[in-house]
Structure 1
């Protein structure tokens, strides 16, 4: 241990106190030993350090900071250097706000397009997500502070996220859901990891010895700190045993007492606590070094805004360009239509929400674009209400223009932390507008703003489609520069766009509604499923158009790399993302037909040819063998494919690779759907259990049992207590009523912060206002013993207040003695 001398001088109570927060965002300090509090702040795409009362839902405004494009947006750049640059600028702003730990990036897989937090995540591919995350981390930590990779692991739905049990087989867990974390930790060297809310195969993630000890600590040799997601601690002692150093936010000392009692009783050894304290001290001292001799408390707002624009420009994806309608020539008359042109949709909602330093506006930026904007009409109501008047006025304007610029997408209340989307559709009132515009002017260019995949049955009615994703505070200007050709678009999709939601691999298993969610599709997520099962998609993974054209040639394969040439055959410079996919030709072990194993983004001048080399690494040919319980290489011929997307393979060759001689992990006859892949989205329970190697748990609530700590408020509908059922229906009514009157954001907060909250969260998230003994009383009330429970609550609250008063007196006396001494 690094800080053994300091730890020797600490009391047991002091050591335990470091294991949970001082308040909502800070760790505990111990002044006599020179141990300062450090500050943790949300910040996947901009710093969210709240100036007023703290919360985890983005309700209260934060100190102004640059709102960079979200991770889902930047992932489309496929540019690792750009990711590192964003990290550097995020790190600089974090230091300016005296933040020690920046809570990001988020690298959970996009298992399903409807996950409400997909806008915060990079990709449906673990290799791609891991590489981008490692770049961000290197940039952030170059300033001496810590990044915090989240959410570890298999957190792929928002509904019931604090209690859902993710059931996934070991190979899928390793290859799909842990690989991005492995890359981020080994290559990015992150100092902090955030555990997820959910359970994983029957255990809460921050108590799960398999992922926390066997894999994270022992296999990956991670020596940093693990922090819970806010309110995500279930059993504090079990978490400590698993190596979870820091519980956030504060529990006002309640869980510290649990740790002390466990050590005194011999349940855990004090050495376990000492190891956790040592790792936390290392995080505190190393991230405080940057502030020792003063620090720059300001940053160049304009420079950072310009970087946000550059990032957005390189991340925008051109999806359709019929008849080369784009780029728009100078002097073209345009009708600007769509609510999002006036009030941009530029970031997600929830804990990642940033208070931007400035915000570009499309209508203002149009004045200097070279286009002639003849007017603006909103055309639709932002939150879905139909308005024929708005449509009529928009159509009247569209008739007068050469081109219609139509700004549509998803609103903030549809894509939000704590909620999953209900469907993949653009709101009907926006499609009504599009259909009406098509009747009066067919030169429509759609600018799409949303953080995840959507269905596009309407795409035949537009000639141009520019996808800005959620492009940050400078996105409006960036999009116009792409539309006018000042920037040649080079973004490529980091997720597949299916034709319809029913085609998706997890369609029948998303989300888990009650106890668990089963990942029956196994390794077949995203393009791994569509390409292997030969399911047609609208836009494949890695797809994106340019204003120039590229030609691939001269593929050469060695044992260490692939090398090839790309020629820009157009008349403007452009950037191309070349992608390396690998597929095993053996069918002894079921595998996706191709998997991304490398990529490179290159700038090529008009008529220029560049040589590109993509090296192999330890992940190029590996698979996880469940019999040997380790990574193996299957001896076989492998297809090496160079593509402009997963579906557009330009060059191909084979390479024989020697294997590790491991036994075959599966009985092919027992897993027919996995070997054929064509039915990977309709796998039955029996076959999934064959893959899993055990019976799956019952996925429904046992409604005969009394409700407990890990049951949710939503389960009060089955409670024995009239009080609890009344509370449930009151919450349901409030949600319905708020949506009805247009208060969708407020309605969503009810679902995020109350409806799906487990009862233990009431204690974990209230900073000691309600403790676990009081919660016992609340549960008595819920389970039909109203007055007994109420008496218990009042008794325990009185006891708690007396304890706080006594503690304050003791602390005051100690301070007085210290002062006099």
Structure 2
């Protein structure tokens, strides 16, 4: 009993603003913030805790406290809006369009995530935004999720490494990164009311690591709560998620912001960890954290000390952003930002198949190229529901080819299919739009017959993959399979480029030995980067951040019938076997495995070793290998380190990603690579003891180029 009270006192003592880690590090700031709070009226404090416009909450002008201004989002700083989300119609609010989340993940390069963050932070600063609602890195549990393109990957380790660097990049420009959506926001279907049931080990090993890393390693200044419920309680008022884990266990010292319209109570949300309520519609004074919260304080349902804690957190964030002495004016639409988008895009593109060696397209005799498909001329900075960008420019795929080829080749375009439906259309409209357009296919075939090479651009777009709505299936839309079949029959030299942010079924094309290149919603410079990969100026180095199934039913949530759930509840029965963990453990062959991607070069792995064979539980492992570029073209290889435990006391996946490195090699060059691994990272979460536990015994460390292509392995032993 005594222990219980000691723990309760510890949690209480550390939950208040008086004991935040930031104040211990900066006593002068602590004094400054407390002095401001002491001068504020209750009305002024409450005004800071709820929206007073679509993207802002109030400041206190008489005390020199500006409003807190936020903005979307992961793809770039969105255009200014007015009531009803209508564009404000300005001529000064264009921005750089950055590659989507799964494109950043496909680079497998934390430095690209950092450069993305720096550029996004600079653009947000230039537009006078204090908080940018990014990055978004919920786990890709189902390929159907409408926001898979926005999120990163199916793996918590990969997500963590990229999220930390993106957060640090954004905040280096004195703009708060608001990491989202906390937590278990893995489907858009019924997102406002679906309840997620997941066991503790699954929560800690799969769905929380990236958030924990963003907070503890990235020092994120803001977190956005998710729309859904977790264990029967909305995330915006979920004490276990917001207070017990985020604020108490992880020591989060920033601000918890609701998703827009995602708050459901006044007293419960206030007591359980929410700091700011945001929403989309006025009257703002009627929000849960407006007049009702003021009344709750007056009725002693919510303490003034709790209000002060929330205001303290906001002022702490503002002293790192708009009230900081160090911030710059920012810059937007610069050549440097364009270069960042190009670099991310070129490192994200994945070569899936090249059996006929049609790529790279180097043949001097290639003079006539048929460019086919709506995605060749489509731009992706806007569309669907949710955050978009009014891009200053976006180079589409056809323009990219023109830019690179100039007068050296003749490019003839045929649309091939109509991308007719919008994300808001009915299922009947979607089905109708997916019927092949024989007239457009016929014109495409005519162009293909008269060309040396045909390049067919297919896949999704921002209407097909959209916030607020999951896809019904992962089949290619708009009759694209029929288009590919007809064009490739007319011209055997057909290259397929698939554009999308989430998996599609490409089984027929793969079986037909087509040359397949995967691109993404790849930002303002996407077309130029894609052209450079096609033409061989860039050696593709993107690797898949999630598994591509042969069919949707192979995916764990669908194999177990737990998506989308029933009666507004879904149980994550697959537990920790998410993504490749499921496929590899259950021995289900994917179409393309996690981490997969080809190159124009061949990389040779040899001489795997570890610095020791026996390690203590608190030790550090150094894994070394030699890697050689055995091809004729310089390029990057992504070396991946997986681990498994034999004879474990608990169920474990066949393998789990524990490290990776991306390395550049010239033709014939060999390097010795070293990948560090903390023994603590081999732990599993013991739900009974509520702690991480490293088992003693034998572990197998595997080095490969994907989860299914293991080149080398070593065994080590962990002792107590």
Q: Please, what TM-score do these two structures have when normalized by structure 1?
A: 0.78
Q: What does residue 379 of structure 1 align with?
A: 416
Q: 2-side partners of 1:418 and 1:313: how far apart?
A: 29
Cα distance, 1:183 vs structure 2: 1.1
Measured at CA, do residues 57 and 621 of structure 1 come closer, stay the same or move farther in structure 2, by a change above 3 Å?
farther
* Aligned with residue 656 of structure 2, among 575, 589, 595: 595
- The within-5 A match list for 1:7-18 is 7-18=37-48
- The within-5 A match list for 1:696-735 is none
Q: 2-side partners of 1:319 and 1:58: how far apart?
A: 42
Q: What does residue 371 of structure 2 align with?
A: 336
Cα distance, 1:401 vs structure 2: 1.3
Report the secondary structure of 1:39's partner residue: strand
Q: What does residue 355 of structure 2 align with?
A: 322
Q: Larger helix proportion, structure 1 or 2?
A: 1
- The within-5 A match list for 1:285-684 is 285-289=319-323, 295-296=328-329, 298-329=331-362, 330-332=364-366, 333-345=368-380, 349-370=384-405, 372-383=409-420, 384=433, 386-427=436-477, 429-459=479-509, 460-461=511-512, 463-507=514-558, 508-558=561-611, 559=615, 560=620, 561-617=622-678, 620-658=681-719
Report the secondary structure of 1:253's partner residue: helix
Report the secondary structure of 2:716's partner residue: strand
Q: What does residue 107 of structure 1 align with?
A: 137
Q: 1-side partners of 2:231 and 2:466: how far apart?
A: 26
Report the secondary structure of 2:85's partner residue: coil
8 Å Cα contact 2:417-2:478 kept in structure 1 = no
Q: Deviations for 1:67-92, whole angstroms, at most 9, x for unmatched residues?
A: 01101111000001111011111111
Q: Deviations for 1:669-703, whole angstroms, at most 9, x for unmatched residues?
A: xxxxxxxxxxxxxxxxxxxxxxxxxxxxxxxxxxx
Q: 1-side partners of 2:640 and 2:59: how far apart?
A: 48
Q: How many residues were matched structurally?
A: 658
Q: 2-side partners of 1:334 and 1:100: how far apart?
A: 47
Q: 2-side partners of 1:55 and 1:656: how far apart?
A: 58
Q: 2-side partners of 1:213 and 1:374: how far apart?
A: 59
Q: What does residue 22 of structure 2 align with?
A: none
Report the secondary structure of 2:693's partner residue: strand
8 Å Cα contact 2:69-2:130 kept in structure 1 = yes
- The within-5 A match list for 1:726-765 is none
Measured at CA, do residues 262 and 552 of structure 1 come closer, stay the same or move farther in structure 2, by a change above 3 Å?
same
Identify unmatched segments of 5+ residues in structure 1. Answer: 660-821
Cα distance, 1:28 vs structure 2: 0.7
Cα distance, 1:331 vs structure 2: 4.4
Q: 1-side partners of 2:184 and 2:599: how far apart?
A: 35
Cα distance, 1:265 vs structure 2: 2.6
Identify unmatched segments of 5+ residues in structure 2. Answer: 1-17, 19-29, 421-432
Q: 1-side partners of 2:176 and 2:636: how far apart?
A: 32
Q: 2-side partners of 1:56 and 1:208: how far apart?
A: 32
Report the secondary structure of 1:431's partner residue: helix
8 Å Cα contact 2:702-2:713 kept in structure 1 = yes
Q: What does residue 157 of structure 1 align with?
A: 187
8 Å Cα contact 1:639-1:654 kept in structure 2 = yes
8 Å Cα contact 1:362-1:476 kept in structure 2 = yes
Cα distance, 1:298 vs structure 2: 4.2
Q: 2-side partners of 1:347 and 1:642: how far apart?
A: 39
Q: 2-side partners of 1:443 and 1:60: how far apart?
A: 46
Q: 1-side partners of 2:675 and 2:518: how far apart?
A: 28
Cα distance, 1:107 vs structure 2: 0.9
8 Å Cα contact 1:69-1:346 kept in structure 2 = no
Q: Deviations for 1:713-753, whole angstroms, at most 9, x for unmatched residues?
A: xxxxxxxxxxxxxxxxxxxxxxxxxxxxxxxxxxxxxxxxx
Measured at CA, do residues 551 and 464 of structure 1 come closer, stay the same or move farther in structure 2, by a change above 3 Å?
same
Q: Deviations for 1:770-818, whole angstroms, at most 9, x for unmatched residues?
A: xxxxxxxxxxxxxxxxxxxxxxxxxxxxxxxxxxxxxxxxxxxxxxxxx
Measured at CA, do residues 618 and 119 of structure 1 come closer, stay the same or move farther in structure 2, by a change above 3 Å?
farther
Alignment pair present for 1:271 and 2:305:
yes
Cα distance, 1:617 vs structure 2: 3.0
Q: 2-side partners of 1:145 and 1:18: how far apart?
A: 18
